[in-house]
Each structure stands twice: as structure tokens, then as C-alpha cells.
Chain A
Amino acid sequence: MVLYAAGAQGAETPIPHGTLELIAENRWVTPGHGFSLGLHFQLERGWHIYWVNPGDSGEPPRVTWQLPPGLSPGVIEWPAPRRLGTSRIVDFGYKDAVTLIVPVHAETSLAAQPLARLGAEIRVLVCREMCIPGRTQLSLTLPIKSLPPVPDVRTRELFAAARKELPRAAPQNWKFSVDDARDYFVLAANLGAQITQVIFFPLAEVQIDNSAPQILQSLPSGFRLTLRKSDRLLKPIDRLKGVLVFSGNHAYLVDVPVSKRGTEKNNSSSGIHEIQSSKEGPQK
């Protein structure tokens, strides 16, 4: 009982204008079974942190793990971000609360022990109109047991909610293409359904102009999205990678080779929408 009480939940640690907690998905670590840790951020109203590509300003959280030998951390699984900032300076990030999931590999040779300490040093920039850098040390103790993994009921909902926000792989039957058309990339999608709302979030910095309107042409079987290139993109790119967020916050990962055919002009189109950058950013 004592071990359980001291188990999977860490403690809420203060960060600028919020708290951060290291959480574990399972009640113990099982040798040879991967599991997930989570960084659960809760932010005061109006404050935000950043996505892996922070956009025009800011910086994503960075983690330095301190794990026992035999445990190795994977890369952060980033939930779909939202557009933040102003009409001129557009950032990508999270408000209110977000959980960043990190898969951890556990070697089969891992020895059982009653309390293994899992630590992480986090550097995070928290911004509203102004930005405050924070640095904090998190830790969590978990037993390592040669028993099948068992989910921790206390963190189950947080992990389930976080997984719902993760962008999914685009279905195989969806077809994408990207044309390099001088100052623009034109991302065309054939999804077998008409799309009237979509935002593209670029995974790489300095590819598209974050604050430029994304011009959506709704098509009977998908859409075409015209993205202005970044003025700082001076060389051609091979692939355009990013996250597409449709209405209802359905998010998909896309990774599309860029071709230089130029844009076709004779597609029938059934609608045009201009996505405004969100104005819900920093309030004074």
C-alpha cells in the first residue's frame, strides 16, 4: 500500500504561471515492456507554451532525462497545436493544459527493484504577451517488477485525453501532392470527401510564412491549400511535412514530396475560404 501511494504520480511542480507534473501510465515498470511517461502542463488563463515548431517566436519545452540504466526515452509525441499570437506574428502552441507523451523503452535485462527514480529536467518558455523562461526538476518513483504491466487508474484519463489530441497517420487511400509554385506551395488533397476547413502546421521552421493567410479551395473530393513560402526559404525543399487540422480538431500527419510542375489552373472548385490567424492570443 505504501508503495502504491508513493507510486506513479509525481508531484505538481511550479513553472512560471502554471504547474508541471511527471506522470506514468502504468503502476510499475515491466522489463521488456515499453511504457509511456507524460509531462502534464497546466497553465494559468492566457498563458501558453510551444509546439515542436514554435512558429515565429518562442521555443518548445526541452527535456533532459535522468532514467535508470536499461530505460531509454523516445521522442516527445506532440499533440496538434493551435495558432497563437497576432496577425503579424503567429506562433504554434498550447494553452490551458496539455500532456506531452514520451514513450520509454525498457530492456528485458532490467532488474526488479522496489523504487526506481525517474527524473527529468525541463526547460520551458511560458508566454502571454511577455515570455518567462522556467527550469524545473521533476521526479517520480516507480517499482520495477517482473509482472505484466497494469495501467494506473489515476493517470488513465490524462493519457487517454492526450492520445486523442495526437495527429494520426493519414489513411493510405488519401492522396496528397505539393507543387512548388514560385512564392507558394500548393498542397492538394484527394480524400474522397469535400473539405471546407483545414489548417496546415509546418513541422519544419522557415518553410512557410506562418502569418500569411492559408488560402483554401474546397473541392468535391478534398481541397487545395495555397501556402505562402517563408521569405527566409532560399533553397528548394524536397518534402513538406506537417500536421493538417480539420474541423472538429481531427489532426493528421502529412509528409509529401514537393514537385515542380507548377499549379494546374482548370480544376473546378466549389468554395474558397481564407483562414484568418487566430486572434485569441495574448490579451492585455
Chain B
Amino acid sequence: MKFGVLRFPGSCDEVDALYAARRVGDAELIWHGERDLKGAQAIIVPGGFSYGDYLRAGAIARFSPAMESVIAFAEDGGLVLGICNGFQVLCEAHLLPGALLGNANRRFTFRQVELEVVNADTPFTRACAGGEPLSIPAKHAWGRYYAEDRTLRAMSEAGQVVLRYAGSQNFNGSLDDIAGVCNEAGNVFGLMPHPEHAVDGLTGSTDGLKIFESMRLAIEGVSA
């Protein structure tokens, strides 16, 4: 299978995502100014600061030519993974519900966090067991997940809350400890922690690999 990884001028973790994706399949970078998704079967919107994010994280990136194609791709049911800044971009593009606000501690914070897999029945988590703890690093200044009560309830009932910060790990103040959510159709997923930085025991944990492996399984039609 083939992943496409978007590259904005201010992307920082796009090469990391590329390497991580290549551990389970093929992967190629897609320049923000291009509309051609190069035949990718899954898209990763990576971490970083897309266009500098001096306005609001992801607010400009959603209008980029590549994102126009990604929005159409997602509406057709294509798999889209947004990591950190990518999650912010997907929320700004209304592919995902809710918004990401400034951290409760008002600081950029880098920490290895433990996550709980709330819904293991998504194309992004099917290689995980329900309730399984994942150790994955998070690093951001704007990661406090927010949505209205009504939306939160509906999301929870529909299984759209995919990952939560475990125990006392929620440093950014996200509502209901939410770390990652998917859309109603289940084909678009965003999370603040960085699974692409948890794919190798040498540089940390390997739990993030399960997210990429899940996507491969979903595309190749093999059940876990």
C-alpha cells in the first residue's frame, strides 16, 4: 500500500511520518501546492507549523491546494490521519469535530504520555486491543481538545473518541481526557500525540507503529 504525507513549508515531522509509514508500506511526500495525491491510498497530515501558524494553528493550511484534494479524498472515504498540527488542520477543515485550544499550562510541553485505546474498532486502531495502553510522546502548545457538550456526548456514543490520556497524563487540559478522535464515518482520525515518534525501540517506544499497521490492515483488507 502507499501513504502520501503532506509537506507544508513549515512542516516539521513530515519526514518522521514518512519513515514511520515506510515501516509498513510505501510512502511519498506531497507538496502543499500540488493537487495530485500521487495515487496514495492513505494520507498523513503531519506535525509542525504548516504556514507558521502565527494566526491559528492550521487555519491557513486548510485552504492549501493539497488540502482541497485531501478533503475530497476524505469525503470519498479515503483514510486520513492527522498528527498534532495535522489534527489541528483537520479540525479547521471541518473533517473532524471540535477544536484544539492552547494548553492549560500555557506552555509548549513535550512528554511521553500513556494513552488508552477507547475504540479499537477503527481503521486506525484495529491492530490494538480495546483498553490497551499505548506509550507515545506528545509535544505541542495547542493541544487542549474542546467540543460542545452535545457534540462530546454524540461523539462518545458513536465511538468517535478513539484515544484518551490515561490516568493523570492529560497535561494539556483536554475535555474528557480526549487525545484522538475520528469522524462519524470513521475514515478520518486526528490525534495530538505523535505515533510516528514511537516506532523504534532505539529512540523510544514502538507502540505508535500499531497506528500505521492498523491503516495497512484496513487498506489491504486483512482483519487483525
Say whether A associates with B.
no
* A interface, CB within 8 angstroms of B: none
